[in-house]
Amino acid sequence: MREEHRTTMPLATALAGLVLGVIAVPLLVGAGPFAVVPFAALIALVALRRDSRAVGGGFLVAFSSWWIYFIHEAVERCDAFNRSGGSCAIFGTTEQVVLAGCVALVGLVLIAVAMRDRLVRSA
């Protein structure tokens, strides 16, 4: 039972970060340059507090998921525009998907580090 509690706390915290990201990222997309402030606050929180690494990891996973979704939507809109007689071209989507995947990987690593730290501190 004690082992179970040690690993569920970072997972619950990561889930909170994931939910925060799912809600916050679409709202921040429309905020323009002011979107930098919440991201900077989150980075500061993750850097300063060991317990918040899982939240940052969950947020990064959600952020990268939205990023891939927005890329997909842009490609679909461009394709629809091309089918209706327009001319549209999107370049660099592969690189952006790879970069979004790297961001997701960093988020998963932060979650894993938070879980490992929790296990080491509890032992």
Residue of 13 and 60 predicted with greater confidence: 60
Exposure string of 7-16, with b = 16+ CB inside 10 Å and e = fewer, is: eebbeebbee
**How does pLDDT run across 104-123, given as a tens digit for each residue?**
999 899 889 888 887 777 76
- The range of the structural domain enclosing residue 15 comes to 2-122
Structurally, how many domains does the chain consist of? 1
Neighbour tally for 24: CB within 10 Å: 20
pLDDT at position 83? 92
Closest CA to 44 of 81, 72, 36: 36
**How does pLDDT run across 45-79, given as a tens digit for each residue?**
666 666 678 888 888 899 899 999 999 999 999 99
pTM here? 0.75
